[in-house]
């Protein structure tokens, strides 16, 4: 195997850098996926039928908590990759652990938020606005959930093997995914919640 | 769900189909057992990660689907042959035109194109495999799972019946209460994920794995077309993913996206469908352009004329393809501004397409043209496709479109684009690259006979439809009265359809005959062609290139033949290859089971299979498979054997 | 300890928090819809760049051109989908 030792470990073999490029391309597809969900939401968000509208159900409190949790998790995820590159296994794993816990917290708040909506009579079936809201938020939430499973499995592998060509590559790709979810959330925060409350 | 609705009942034709499915499955099982081929099937095919074998499986599946979809088409033509025909009832007719469209576009054209892509691309760029061989197998098995799901729908539960476009509110649970459109949303979703993964795979392959010296502007035109096609797939398929998911939520979970009450917007479906749907047209047509470019250049013994303008025109087409979707529903009534915008952007596409047509013509000019079967398809493509293109410009004019909309004129138009465009191209490509895969050519004389039968019958079938459309015959209508005067032209079209069917049957005979009697090609370069794939022995060994070629211009193999400069230098080294794996196949089967349970809203088994999918992903993540190495000795022996040298 | 928290990451994090607060201003003060949307758009775009360049290290990859093309194309198609859908489904009916 040809290795280029001037690069960080996650890029070093040809397969590794192919995987990173491949994942970036996949993120390009994800951008379009979320854009389409936004297109649907922005088309339907005033069409509330007989259900509640955005101003009636949105609460800024939990949303701010979610934003804070996710921004922080993105930060710790970046730190995890940074210490991985310094060759520090332990701190890196701690940072990854914190990232996943914050992600779990985010998911918890989001589920509570959904429960509140449903208790207020705002369900997927109520109106086009709510259908598009639930599906947009739900798709993002599902991505976070997949990220938690993925990150958890990854931490087991790192604990067992340390940072090898493979695990460092996977960790870096995971970090791309996690930062991407943060970006998507920023857009949800701005153009769903803040715009809805404006 | 009542159990007596599980199987489709009450139609003699369906019983016949059920019986034939059972008999065919039994025959396969018995045959495999009798000839002791289960192990062979598993080791060589089901677990393979070799891009060439995956390509062959795609092409076999596509040919089978061609006959399935063709059968639907024949039934439609049989029903319409005479006025007030009682062969099919309205429901059955709805089902077959829906599945005809779905199968031909998504399970015939797409896999055929992707199959050729799999076979050719790594060979053309001088690579030993695609970037992610395992992922490639996953893509195939997901496509396979989707295709099987859609195909069992007509005996279990009922086929989708709201057109291949599945417009709402017709496709909603109120107006289409059978599970047919659940099949639509879930089967397409699974196949679509496979396609998306294919695009990531091939983009990385083409961007990163080209032989040394092959700059982007030295890539063969087919590789360029595939690169651009995969860009379109990458950005168009997520839209389909979302649309199908929303459809599923509407139908299965009571969401209100496309409903008529509670704020739902039925035409939003049409909008989203075509945001994906129009780029999809270019996904199946651009690789065809690439195939024609290779073939026309090879059999004119000339460089492709206007290489750069070919590339730029495809880039422009790929951008414009995302800007024209609303021309599919001008009659929705969204006003002059919208229709005006989409009218102009649609007509603009004719410009880069016209550039390509002229480039092909100039490539032919003063060439030493050799009329082989693939070349005949390519030559027939140019005028017939131009008719399709010009009628497309007619349809692009929004105000005139009110006259043509949803008539047979439109049906004739898109068949005139897709058949000479895509179908002729994949057949041409099939004849052209066949010797590379199997080591012998398909018989040329029979191939030409099949070509003439297909090309002439095609025009007999679809030319009358233009006139029927202009006379006012609408599409998707299951019968018409004698007073309309549509009878004679319909009869003519139906006669053409029979000819078309005979042509395809003859094509299969051509393949069968050649397998038995065609002489072996020992050169590896039976057409005296230009690009790298022809520098390998036929059939290609699993590692493709014993030595990676060095490229210093366009058409490197041609130059090497002319100048006598060898393409490769150096000594053999060990070659690293990926191991086979059963995981992609198993994953595909779990997806199929998951999809089937979802279609019938059986939640508990759906969740179980869903967890199964996650487990398979985890298994893959925890696996450490570093592949294997082929020794220098083995490479030497293989090369000598395939090149017919004595050791 | 210090080398675990590189200044670039810390600044990026603080910056993203500040941007969120700035975005929050659109619901705290009365302002026109146009101004509010402008603020939201700018903040979101800057946030995205913070993530891309500081955390995702897009600039360090060897196939930079491919990555930027990919991103540009994806954003273009995404925006076409959003604004094109609004154009065909809503605005088109309003323009006379």
Q: How do residues B224-258 score in pLDDT, each as one tens digit?
A: 999 999 999 999 999 999 999 999 999 999 999 99
What does the pLDDT look like over B627-639, one tens digit per residue?
899 999 999 998 8
Alpha-carbon distance of B451 to B372, in angstroms, equals 11
Residue B575, SS3 per DSSP: strand
pLDDT of residue A2: 65
Beta bridge partners of A13: A3
Q: Do B238 and A49 touch (CB under 8 A)?
A: no
Q: Which two tokens stand for residue B626?
A: 């570093």
B21 has a pLDDT exceeding 70: yes
Eight-state DSSP code of residue B628: E
Of residues B33 and A23, more confidence is placed in A23
CA-based nearest residue to B293, from B386, B423, B391, B382: B382
pLDDT for B440:
93
Higher-confidence residue of B246 and B644: namely: B246
Angle between helix axes A14-44 and C64-86 (nearest 10 degrees) is 10
| Chain A neighbors (3+ CB pairs < 8 Å) | B, C
CB A21 within 8 A of CB B195: no
DSSP state of B260: S
Rounded to whole angstroms, the Cα distance separating B112 from A168 reads 38
> Phi and psi for B107 in degrees, rounded to 5?
-115, 0
- How would you classify residue A150: left for phi > 0, otherwise alpha for psi between -120 and 50, otherwise beta? alpha
Q: Which of B233, B255, B257, B578 to probe the A interface (max A CBs under 10 A)?
A: B255
Q: Is the pLDDT of residue B36 over 70?
A: yes
Distance of alpha carbon C51 from alpha carbon C29, whole angstroms: 28
- Which residues of chain A from 7 to 26 reach within 8 Å of chain C, CB to CB? 7, 11, 17, 20-21, 24-25
Radius of gyration of chain C, Cα coordinates, nearest whole angstrom? 18
Cα B484 to Cα B468: distance, rounded to the nearest angstrom: 10
Residue C96: predicted pLDDT:
58
Question: Cis link prior to B169 (omega < 30° from 0)?
Answer: yes
Q: Would the CB atoms of A43 and B200 count as touching at under 8 Å?
A: no
- In the beta sheet, which residues pair with residue B474? B407
Domain A9-45+52-197 has CATH 1.20.120.80: yes
CB contact under 8 A, C36 and A60: no
* Angle of CA points C21, C22, C25, to nearest 5°: 90
Q: Please give the pLDDT value at position B341.
A: 93
- Torsion angles phi and psi, residue B474, rounded to 5: -85, 155
Confidence of residue B3 (pLDDT cuts 50, 70, 90): low
Could you give the percent of chain B with pLDDT greater than 90? 84
Tell me if A172 sits within 8 A of A10, measured CB to CB.
yes
User: How many angstroms separate the CA atoms of A51 and A54, rounded?
Assistant: 10
Contacts of residues B350-354 at CB distance under 8 Å and 24 or more positions apart, as own/partner, are B350/B389, B350/B392, B350/B393, B350/B396, B352/B312, B352/B313, B352/B314, B352/B316, B352/B317, B352/B320, B353/B313, B353/B317, B353/B389, B354/B389
CB B307 within 8 Å of CB B361: no
Query: Treating both helix axes as pointing N-terminal to C-terminal, what angle do A14-44 and B180-208 enclose, rounded to 10 degrees?
Result: 140
The tokens 């940074």 sit on which residue? A82
Task: Quote the longest CA-to-CA distance of chain A.
Answer: 64
Residues of chain A positioned with their CB less than 8 A from the CB of C70: 24-25, 28
Pairing of strands B575-577, B628-630: antiparallel
pLDDT at B1: 55
Helix (H) or strand (E) segment spanning residue C53 = none
Q: Token pair 């000795």 is at which residue?
A: B633
Q: Does C71 touch chain B (CB under 8 A)?
A: no
Q: Is A47 left (phi over 0), alpha (psi -120 to 50) or beta?
A: beta
Taking CB atoms and an 8 Å limit, are C55 and A179 in contact across chains? Answer: yes
Question: Which two tokens mark B556?
Answer: 């490197």
Structure token digits, residue A124 = 């997927």
- Measured in Å, how far apart are chain C's first and last C-alpha atoms? 64
Residue C29 burial (CB < 10 Å; 0-12/13-18/19+)? exposed
- Highest average pLDDT, of A141-145, B174-178, B573-577, B623-627, comes from A141-145
Residues B258-293 as b/e (b if ≥16 CB within 10 A, e otherwise) read bbeebbbbbbbbbbbbbbbbbbbbbbbbbbbbbbbb
Task: Of C94, A130, A138, give the one whose Cα is nearest residue B259.
Answer: A130
What is the model's pLDDT at position A142? Answer: 97
Chain B residue numbers with beta carbons less than 8 Å from the beta carbon of C89 are 265, 267-268, 271, 334
CA distance B395 to B408: 12
Q: How far apart are CA B406 and CA B423, in angstroms?
A: 23
Rounded CA separation B85/B16 (Å): 21
Using CB atoms, which residue from A28, A71, A83 is nearest to C73?
A28
- Where residue B187 falls among pLDDT bands split at 50, 70, 90? very high
Whole-angstrom Cα distance, residue A26 to residue A9?
22
Radius of gyration of the CA atoms of chain A, in A: 19
- Domains with residue ranges and CATH for chain B: 37-581+625-642 (1.20.210.10)
Residues in CB range of A23: below 8 A, 6 or more apart: A173, A176, A177
Q: Which of C56, C63, C76, C84 to mutate to probe the A interface, most A CBs <10 Å?
A: C56
In chain B, % of residues over pLDDT 70: 99
Q: What is the pLDDT of residue B647?
A: 44
Contacts of A28 in chain C (CB under 8 A): 70-71, 73-74
Considering chain B, what is the average pLDDT of its residues?
93
Q: What is the block-wise mean pLDDT of chain A (198 residues), using blocks of 10 residues?
A: 73 88 96 97 94 92 95 95 92 96 97 95 94 97 97 95 92 96 95 93
The dihedrals phi and psi of B7, each to the nearest 5 degrees, come to -95, 145
Query: φ, ψ for residue B156 (rounded to 5)?
Result: -115, 105
What is the total residue count of chain C? 96
pLDDT digits (tens, 9 = 90+) for B270-304: 999 999 999 999 999 999 999 999 999 999 999 99
Q: Are B385 and B417 in contact (CB under 8 A)?
A: yes
Position B646 scores a pLDDT of 47
**Chain B residues near residue C66 by CB distance under 8 angstroms:** 207
| Closest-approach residue (CA) in chain A for B619 | A153
| Residue bearing tokens 């509208």 | A53
**Residues in chain C with pLDDT values less than 70:** 96
Which of A18, A25, A125 is closest, CB to CB, to B255? A125
Nearest to A114, CA basis, from A136, A146, A99, A83: A136
Lowest mean pLDDT among A180-184, B2-6, B62-66: B2-6
Q: In 3D, which of A97, A85, A74 has the Cα closest to residue A151? A: A97
Which of B157, B264, B66, B8 shows the shortest CA–CA distance to B602? B157
ipTM: 0.95
Q: What is the pLDDT of residue B4?
A: 67
Report the alpha-carbon distance of residue B496 to residue B74 in Å, rounded. Answer: 10
Question: What distance in Å separates the CA atoms of residue C16 and residue A71, rounded to the nearest whole number?
Answer: 7
Mean pLDDT of B390-394: 93
Which candidate, B395, B163, B165, places its Cα nearest to that of B277? B165
pLDDT for residue B594: 97
- Domain spans of chain A, in order of start: 9-45+52-197
């Amino acid at each position: 195997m040809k290795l280029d030792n001037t690069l960080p470990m996650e890029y070093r073999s040809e397969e590794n850098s192919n995987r990173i490029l491949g994942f970036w391309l996949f993120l390009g597809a994800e951008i379009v996926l979320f854009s389409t969900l936004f297109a649907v939401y922005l088309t339907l968000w005033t069409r509330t039928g007989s259900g509640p509208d955005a101003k009636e159900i949105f609460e800024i409190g939990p949303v701010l908590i979610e934003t804070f949790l996710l921004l922080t998790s993105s930060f710790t995820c970046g730190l995890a990759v940074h210490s991985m590159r310094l060759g520090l296994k332990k701190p890196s794993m701690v940072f990854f652990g914190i990232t996943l816990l914050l992600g779990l917290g985010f998911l918890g708040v989001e589920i509570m938020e959904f429960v509140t909506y449903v208790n207020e009579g705002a369900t997927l079936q109520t109106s086009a606005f709510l259908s598009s809201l639930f599906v947009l938020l739900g798709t993002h939430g599902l991505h976070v959930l997949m990220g938690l499973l993925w990150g958890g499995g990854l931490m087991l592998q790192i604990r067992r093997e340390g940072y090898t060509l493979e695990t460092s590559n996977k960790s870096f790709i995971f970090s791309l995914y996690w930062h991407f979810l943060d970006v998507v959330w920023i857009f949800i925060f701005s153009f769903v919640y803040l715009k809805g409350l404006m | 769900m009542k159990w007596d609705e599980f199987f489709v009942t009450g139609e003699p034709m369906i019983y016949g189909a059920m019986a034939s499915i059972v008999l065919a499955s039994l025959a396969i099982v018995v045959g495999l057992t009798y000839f002791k081929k289960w192990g062979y099937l598993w080791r060589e095919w089901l677990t393979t990660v070799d891009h060439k074998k995956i390509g062959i499986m795609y092409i076999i599946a596509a040919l089978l689907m061609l006959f399935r979809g063709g059968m639907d088409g024949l039934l439609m033509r049989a029903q319409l042959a005479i006025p007030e025909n009682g062969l099919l009832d309205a429901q059955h007719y709805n089902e077959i035109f829906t599945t005809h469209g779905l199968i031909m576009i998504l399970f015939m054209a797409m896999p055929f194109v992707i199959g050729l892509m799999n076979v050719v691309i790594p060979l053309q760029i001088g690579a030993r495999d695609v970037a992610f061989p395992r992922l490639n197998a996953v893509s195939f098995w997901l496509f396979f799972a989707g295709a099987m799901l859609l195909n069992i729908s007509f005996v279990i539960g009922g086929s989708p019946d709201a057109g291949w476009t599945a417009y709402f509110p017709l496709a909603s649970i109120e107006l289409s209460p059978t599970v047919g459109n659940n099949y639509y949303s879930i089967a397409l979703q699974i196949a679509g994920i496979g396609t998306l993964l294919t695009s990531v795979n091939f983009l990385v392959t083409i961007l990163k794995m080209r032989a040394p010296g092959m700059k982007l502007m030295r890539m063969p035109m087919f590789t360029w077309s595939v690169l651009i096609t995969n860009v379109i797939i990458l950005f168009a398929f997520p839209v389909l993913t979302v649309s199908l998911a929303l459809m599923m939520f509407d139908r299965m979970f009571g969401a209100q996206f496309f409903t008529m009450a509670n704020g739902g917007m039925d035409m939003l479906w049409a909008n989203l469908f075509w945001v994906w749907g129009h780029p999809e047209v270019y996904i199946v047509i651009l690789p065809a352009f690439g195939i024609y470019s290779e073939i026309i250049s090879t059999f004119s013994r000339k460089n492709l004329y206007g290489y750069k303008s070919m590339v730029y025109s495809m880039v422009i087409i790929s951008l414009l393809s995302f800007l024209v979707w609303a021309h599919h529903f001008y009659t929705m009534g969204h006003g002059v501004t919208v229709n005006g915008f989409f009218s102009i952007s649609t007509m603009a596409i004719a410009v880069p397409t016209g550039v390509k047509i002229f480039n092909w013509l100039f490539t032919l000019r003063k060439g030493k043209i050799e009329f082989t079967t693939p070349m005949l398809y390519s030559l027939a493509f140019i005028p017939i496709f131009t008719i399709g293109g010009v009628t497309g410009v007619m349809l692009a004019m929004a105000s005139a479109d009110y006259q043509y909309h949803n008539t047979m004129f439109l049906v004739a138009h898109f068949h005139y684009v897709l058949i000479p465009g895509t179908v002729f191209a994949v057949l041409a490509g099939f004849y052209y690259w066949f010797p590379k895969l199997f080591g012998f050519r398909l018989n040329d004389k029979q191939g030409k006979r099949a070509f003439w039968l297909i090309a002439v019958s095609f025009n007999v079938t679809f030319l009358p439809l233009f006139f029927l459309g202009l006379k006012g015959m609408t599409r998707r209508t299951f019968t018409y009265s004698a007073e309309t005067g549509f009878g004679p032209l319909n009869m003519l079209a139906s006669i053409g359809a029979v000819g078309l069917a005979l042509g395809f049957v003859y094509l299969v005979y051509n393949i069968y005959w050649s397998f038995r009697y065609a002489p072996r090609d020992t050169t590896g370069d039976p057409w005296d062609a230009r690009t790298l794939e022809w520098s390998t022995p036929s059939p290609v060994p699993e590692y493709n290139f014993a030595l990676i070629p060095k490229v210093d211009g366009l058409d490197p193999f041609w130059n090497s033949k002319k100048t006598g400069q060898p393409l490769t230098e150096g000594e053999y080294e060990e070659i690293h290859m990926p191991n086979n794996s059963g995981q992609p196949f198993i994953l595909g089967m779990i997806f199929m089971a998951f999809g089937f349970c979802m279609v019938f809203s059986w939640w508990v088994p759906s969740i179980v299979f869903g967890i199964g999918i996650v487990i398979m992903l985890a298994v893959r993540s925890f696996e450490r498979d570093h592949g294997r190495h082929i020794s220098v000795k083995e490479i030497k022996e293989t090369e000598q054997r395939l090149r017919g040298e004595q050791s | 300890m210090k080398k675990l928290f590189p200044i670039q990451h810390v600044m990026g994090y603080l910056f993203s928090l500040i941007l969120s607060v700035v975005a929050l201003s659109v619901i705290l003060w009365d302002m026109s819809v146009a101004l509010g949307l402008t603020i939201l758009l700018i903040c979101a775009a800057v946030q995205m760049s913070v993530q891309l360049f500081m955390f995702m290290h897009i600039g360090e990859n060897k196939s930079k051109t491919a990555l930027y093309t990919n991103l540009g194309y994806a954003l273009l198609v995404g925006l076409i989908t959003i604004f094109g859908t609004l154009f065909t489904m809503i605005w088109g009916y309003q323009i006379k």
